[in-house]
A and B are shown apart, each in its own frame.
Chain A
Amino acid sequence: MSGTIYYISGLAILFGINLIAVWGLDLQFGMTGINSFAFIVFQSAGAYATALLALKPPSSYGSFETYIGGANLPFPLPLIGGAVAGGLIAVPIGLVAVRRLRGDYEAMALLVVSLIATGLVNAQTNWLNGPSGIALVPQPFGGPTVPPQTYHWIFLGITAVCCVIAWWVMRGIARAPLGRLLRAARDSESAASALGRSPHRLRMTALIVGGALAGLSGGLLVEYVTAWSPASWLYQETFLFFTALVVGGRGNLAGAALGVLIVPIGIAEATRRLPSFGYPGLIDSLDFVAIGALMLAFLWFRPNGLLAERKRIIRPRDGSDPASDPAPLGLAARLGLRRAGSR
């Protein structure tokens, strides 16, 4: 029984961590339309930054691993550092992403950016300990004296606070004029320009804020699992987040939450509890087969996801009736759920 509670609380932590990341992706992709296939780099930047800020210098672990820094800062500074790193890495990535390429081209370019980042970290073993990655990341308020279940509750609390912050940021953006501008930039570049905003700057803003959320999520994740290596952020993980968003529904906070519940938690994490069969890792492989299939199925049968974004309609001047082009109604509308971000 206590094993079950431990397991469930662990899933809840992962749910919160993934949710923050998927909200960040929703800001970049769902709201702004950037095909952010380098998304995992934002999360990873946050994870590495948090790890480096929380760890002591390498020498204090007998040079068991090599990395730059080791600031040994107290909670919550490493997490804040993670969010900042996620936002900062948006700048070089943004150089690629704000140049508007055709959608699939942009996706490929960013995918390659993500591979280059992994390649660099692997090749430069003295920056971030190369392929072996960084371990022994200290946990906030943790230690040998804290029982694991108690620690789960502590960490769940931290995660919940971070989720609330992320929710507040997302909701603020969705309600602010910025949200409308981002959507305008997504749907038509000229519309954004007409409103007097540079679409480039809008896209960069979305990248930075979304990247900061991803960085925060990465910081939490590395503090929870205490280790981070290039294998933690392969391009498949980006696809995992995208699948969550496509399944749940883009452009609304609840859709992202539902997607996270189904994809990273329901498929990727929960199946770890299945009685293992085959060789170690077989279930993980099958998870990804299922996730790929789920993505195809949703793109085919329900491309707007379970909770579709409500079309925000700007009434054209010439008096034609926009209602004659009905927006697809999502499950949320049918269930009468109120979507965050819409008045």
Chain B
Amino acid sequence: MTLLVTIVLFGIYSAALLAIGSVGFSMQFGVTNVLNLAYGSILTSCIFVEYWITGHSSNVWLAMLVGALAGAVISFVIGHLVIGAFLNRGASGFSIAMVTIGIALMIEFTLEAIQGPYINTFSANVSSAITISGVSLGGEQLAAIGIAAAAMVAVHMLLRLTKLGLAMRATADDVALTRSCGISPTRTRAVAWLLSGALCGICGVLLGLDEGTFSSSTGDAIFVTIAAAAVVGGIGKPYGAMIGALLVGLVSEGSAAVISPSYKSIAAWVLLIAVLMVRPQGIFAEYASRRELVA
């Protein structure tokens, strides 16, 4: 019983953190059709910027604000300016994957060059905890769940209730038709990069606080788990990413508890591969997206 409660509680908690990152990743893919393999390094750089600006022990809210701003700026520069320039030249999907990995390496190793081979510590002061069936969740963890929920509601309202959100969903559906409606995809793509960067930053800061330590390669492993949640939910579909995050969270916590903690991420990644092999459009996709995922 306690095992189950542990899996579910920590699964929800992992899912909450993941969901922030994977909703951003998925939405950006949907609107821009770019598989951004540099997402993890954007996440890492947000933690660093936050750490440099507010120090190792800070207020969660301030930390998140700084992380979100840093993420938005970095993501915009990388995605909209650099990758956008390659796209304007008609680069293939694989070239873009190379470009994003190249950028990821440059960021990751620049950070490593700056920080040295050290691991930084990081904490924020949130107090109190709750206990359910003998399993206790700390204040940080509760705050993270709350923040994730708030972020999801905000994304939902943007996408469903605003004209901009409608234009973003239209761009994700069909770029040519969107342009024929007089909507510039450049603008919706810019917003997608900014917004996904902000979510990435928030996710990074919360993860950094959660782990308590971070280094220049923190984003690598997390990125693959974020991508797993996005792909499981059907990449390009922000709502799918929320469910995908929940599934991936439960699977990782479940395998951590049942097999061994070292399998926590591996289980999520295997799930990612399995879904890619069997249903590349994601397990929750109602009907296959028009966007080709299979060559």
Contact = CB atoms under 8 A, between A and B. Distances in A.
Interface of A: 35, 95-96, 99-109, 111-113, 115-116, 119-120, 122-123, 189, 235-236, 239, 242-243, 246, 278-282, 285-289, 291-293, 295-296, 299-300, 303
A289 B103 CA distance: 9
- Residue in B34, B98, B116 whose Cβ sees the most chain A Cβ within 10 Å: B98
Nearest to A124: B262
B122 interface: no
A49 to B, nearest CB: 22
Contacts of B266: 116, 119-120, 123
B293 A102 contact: yes
Nearest to A288: B109
B295 A289 contact: no
Contact of A292 (B109, B276, B293): B109
A316 to B, nearest CB: 23
B263 A123 contact: yes
Given A103-B93, A289-B109, A299-B99, A115 B269 contact: yes
A242 B97 CA distance: 12
Contacts of A288: 105-106, 108-109
B269 A289 contact: no
Given A102-B294, A120-B266, A296 B103 contact: yes
Contacts of B136: none
Given A99-B277, A119-B265, A123-B263, A286 B113 contact: yes
Contacts of A279: 116-117
10 contacts: A96-B276, A101-B293, A103-B97, A104-B96, A105-B35, A115-B221, A189-B295, A239-B101, A292-B104, A292-B105
Contacts of B292: 102
Scoring A105, A116, A295, A299 by chain B CB atoms within 10 A of each residue's CB, the highest score goes to A105
Contacts of A99: 277, 294
A102 B106 contact: no
A96 B227 CA distance: 17
Contacts of B102: 239, 243, 291-293, 295-296, 299
A116 B103 contact: no
Interface string B246-281: 000000000000001011011001101100110010
B224 interface: yes
User: Which 4 pairs show the lowest CB-CB distances between chains A and B?
Assistant: A103-B94, A292-B106, A292-B105, A123-B262
Given A123-B262, A293-B102, A108 B295 contact: no
Q: Which of the four size classes fits the interface of chain B?
A: 35 or more
A300 B273 contact: no
Given A101-B276, A104-B35, A285-B112, A35 B224 contact: no
B131 interface: no
B93 A104 contact: yes
Given A35-B94, A246-B98, A282-B113, A102 B262 contact: no
B106 A293 contact: yes
Given A101-B294, A115-B269, A123-B262, A108 B109 contact: no
A70 to B, nearest CB: 24
A105 B280 contact: yes
B128 interface: no
Q: Which of B228, B260, B269, B276 has the most CB of A within 10 A?
A: B276
Nearest to A279: B116
A271 to B, nearest CB: 13
Contact of A242 (B98, B221, B260, B269): B98
Contact of B272 (A101, A102, A112): A112
Given A289-B105, A299-B95, 11 more contacts: A96-B277, A104-B35, A109-B272, A112-B224, A115-B220, A116-B269, A235-B220, A239-B102, A288-B109, A289-B113, A296-B102
Interface in B88-142: 89, 91-99, 101-106, 108-110, 112-113, 116-117
Contacts of B117: 279-281
A278 B117 CA distance: 11
A282 B105 contact: no
Contacts of A236: 105
B91 A299 contact: yes
B200 interface: no
A109 B116 contact: no
B66 interface: no
A126 to B, nearest CB: 13
